[in-house]
Structure 1
Amino acid sequence: MLSRTADHLYWMARYTERAENTARMLDVAVQTSMLPQSTADVESGWRAMLSISELEQAFDAKYAVLDARNVLEFMISDPQNASSIVSCLTGARENARAVRGVLTTEVWETHNATWLDMQERLQKVTLDGDPSEFFEWVKYRSHLSRGVTVGTMLTDEAMYFLRLGTFLERADNTARILDIKYHAARQAGRSDAVNQRDFYYWAALLRSVSGFEIYRKVYRDAITPSRVAELLMLRADMPRSLLACMEQVVFNLKAVRNDVSVDTERMAGKIHADLQFARIDDILEAGLDDTLSDFLENIFELGNRISRDFLVPLAA
């Protein structure tokens, strides 16, 4: 496959997944901002989301005030923010259009319809209220895109690059969503008031990754931070966990391997093995924040290596 074609497929999938995960992160932030807390704590929560998304400087350069409305506008509809939902869905559609001949008609029409529908829905989003309905629509369209892709496309190199982009992006975003919660918990401290509302924070986080019902089924007990971390990091049967994502990254990398990708496969295998054989108690003892930061750095480097090995033409 031409590296140009692989590049479009890979980024089409990444942008689609990123739009969904941006919606998920914003949903967590909106829900937790509605809990009883000081204005300073609310602002700290929004800043934590921008910081962990590495968008704090870009936001501060454009907005004088950090509040919910400005953050939502920046993360939903700002075309200059490459991680905004508008930018991601537009990027997914443009990459799909570039490789229409490789995609099935159903896949292309799904991406095109999503982009067209987005224009209308943006006019109805209430940034001063609760935009949860819009977030649910973004998640639904992402689910639809993946379902149509798996249900109508041949399982060949095109599919492998699509899946590679999906799971690499998902791993990155699951780690960021989990890190947002722990960052907020550190900022809030350990007062009794925080402990009393902690359940609602963790429940909102689990719902944001479609994990609340899964948590109840797996643990059948009260929600605790360590078990949430275990579910989202180390459970291979949890679809959005870091381990489940890395299993798919390793599998799809193997399917598209070439003469120069050995080191990239080795790195992906090591990241996967570190998660597969880890224990949550050891991770918490070493520091969850440090573990997630290291994971995000490794995912970033893995993405660079994939671009080098597959998506950028090799120098003659």
Structure 2
Amino acid sequence: MTLARNADSLYWIGRYVERADDMARILDVAVQQLLEDATVDTDSMARHVLAVLGFQRADDTACTVWSLVDGVAYDRASAESLVGLIRTARENARGAREVISSEMWECLNATYMGLDDAERRARLLGPHAFLTYIKERAAMFAGLTDATLSHDVGYSYLIVGRSIERIDMTVRLLMSRAAYRPDALSWMSLLVAAGAQDTYIRAYRGAVDTEHVVEFMMLDRLFPRSVFHSLRVAERHLAELDNRPDRVGAQSTALTLLGRARSSIEFIGRGEMVRDLPAYLRSVQETCRAVSESIAAEHFHVEPYVTWTDTGLVYDYVSHGRKP
């Protein structure tokens, strides 16, 4: 049971740190566009960004740049804000101290403890300061993970979590642009949000068009944030965790789903993908959800935790902030 809980924690540490990094990237680009382009409808674009990130507006009041940043970045009452994600990642790391390196724990702990100062600076200098802090600390954590954590099963669980989250966030970015809304990020802004602009420009000689960007973000074999690359990484590490006999039909459901998703996009032409891009993106997103559920069932063996109340023993399913 302890091993399953540690594996569960490592998987979700990978997902939450990656989600914070990706959300900070998307929000940074969106805020910059809102502040610099006077022609953009602020309320419409802010609502669009919230929808891309999976946030629901509770009322019909107009969205501003500052309400967008407050809700996505600074909200301490929300488990889905950047502050909430870092807090939950830290709590998962606290529960898995014996299987992560001290440097990884110190990085997450220091990141969380520094959030108040980072927010104060950002309120004086602008949101970019806070979002840069999140991106830099996430990059530090990723580097420490690769450099100080043994590349054993624990490492594989963390990398699978990081890869699944990265696929989901890349798909969200592409879905936001596939609708061709006037308030959506431009293709170049999308590349900037994914940290892909320099690599893309070198690969395509600066030609920014729909087919090339979709091909790069979906199918590129070498860019670490492409959907194909992340699927392959997740598939490789999950295969190392699959202890079943190496026979036909013996692999886990999660591994089968990942292999099927990779195969479905591996040899497709960019023209065909662009023509039916929303369908491909929805399919990949559904695969991510199904894979996460299968991993939880097959590897973490989720069981009710026993808690005490005044009336005796009760069983309660505790998620520790985790969500598919």
TM range (shorter): 0.7 to 0.9
User: Does 1:296 find its partner at 2:285?
Assistant: yes
SS in 2 for 1:126: helix
Q: Find the aligned partners of 1:140 and 1:12 in 2 and give their Cα distance.
A: 17
User: Does 1:99 find its partner at 2:108?
Assistant: no
User: Does 1:162 find its partner at 2:152?
Assistant: no
Q: Find the aligned partners of 1:294 and 1:13 in 2 and give their Cα distance.
A: 23
Distance 1:21 1:37, change over 3 A: same
Q: Say what the alpha-carbon RMSD is for the aligned residues.
A: 2.2
Q: Specify the code of the residue in structure 2 equivalent to 1:306.
A: I
Deviation of 1:228 after TM superposition, in Å, equals 1.2
Q: Find the aligned partners of 1:64 and 1:217 in 2 and give their Cα distance.
A: 43
Matching residue of 1:81: 78
Deviation of 1:261 after TM superposition, in Å, equals 5.7
Deviation of 1:314 after TM superposition, in Å, equals 7.0
Contact 1:30 1:130 survives alignment (8 Å):
no
Q: Find the aligned partners of 1:218 and 1:174 in 2 and give their Cα distance.
A: 19
Which digits, 9 at most, give the CA deviation of each residue in 1:104-127, with x for residues without a partner?
111111111111111211222239
Which moved further from structure 2: 9-18 or 304-313? Answer: 304-313
Deviation of 1:211 after TM superposition, in Å, equals 0.8
Q: How many residues align?
A: 298
Deviation of 1:173 after TM superposition, in Å, equals 0.6
Aligned pairs for 1:1-316 within 5 A: 2-36=3-37, 38=39, 41-56=41-56, 59-61=57-59, 64-126=61-123, 130-183=126-179, 185-187=180-182, 201-259=186-244, 262-286=252-276, 288-313=277-302
Q: TM-score w.r.t. structure 2 length?
A: 0.85
Which digits, 9 at most, give the CA deviation of each residue in 1:177-208, with x for residues without a partner?
2222333x3345xxxxxxxxx9x932222121
Contact 1:44 1:187 survives alignment (8 Å):
no
Q: Specify the code of the residue in structure 2 equivalent to 1:298.
A: T
SS in 2 for 1:222: coil
Contact 2:170 2:225 survives alignment (8 Å):
yes
Deviation of 1:98 after TM superposition, in Å, equals 0.5
Q: Once superposed, which parts of structure 1, at least 4 consecutive aligned residues long, lie more than 3 Å away?
A: 34-39, 258-261
Contact 2:254 2:290 survives alignment (8 Å):
no
Q: Specify the code of the residue in structure 2 equivalent to 1:9.
A: L
Q: Find the aligned partners of 1:213 and 1:307 in 2 and give their Cα distance.
A: 37
Q: Find the aligned partners of 2:286 and 2:302 in 1 and give their Cα distance.
A: 24
Distance 1:187 1:77, change over 3 A: same
SS in 1 for 2:97: coil
- Percent identity of the aligned residues? 28
SS in 2 for 1:114: helix
Distance 1:29 1:98, change over 3 A: same
Q: Find the aligned partners of 1:228 and 1:9 in 2 and give their Cα distance.
A: 32
Deviation of 1:54 after TM superposition, in Å, equals 2.6
Q: TM-score w.r.t. structure 1 length?
A: 0.87
Which digits, 9 at most, give the CA deviation of each residue in 1:236-269, with x for residues without a partner?
1111000010001101110111458622211110
Q: Find the aligned partners of 1:137 and 1:79 in 2 and give their Cα distance.
A: 17
Q: Find the aligned partners of 1:9 and 1:108 in 2 and give their Cα distance.
A: 12
Contact 1:19 1:83 survives alignment (8 Å):
no
Which structure shows the bigger proportion of residues in helix conformation?
A: 1
Contact 1:20 1:139 survives alignment (8 Å):
yes
Which digits, 9 at most, give the CA deviation of each residue in 1:26-62, with x for residues without a partner?
01211222354545x3322221122233312xx325x
Higher relative contact order (CA 8 A, sep 6+): 1
Q: Specify the code of the residue in structure 1 equivalent to 2:191.
A: L
SS in 1 for 2:58: helix
Which moved further from structure 2: 258-267 or 22-31? Answer: 258-267
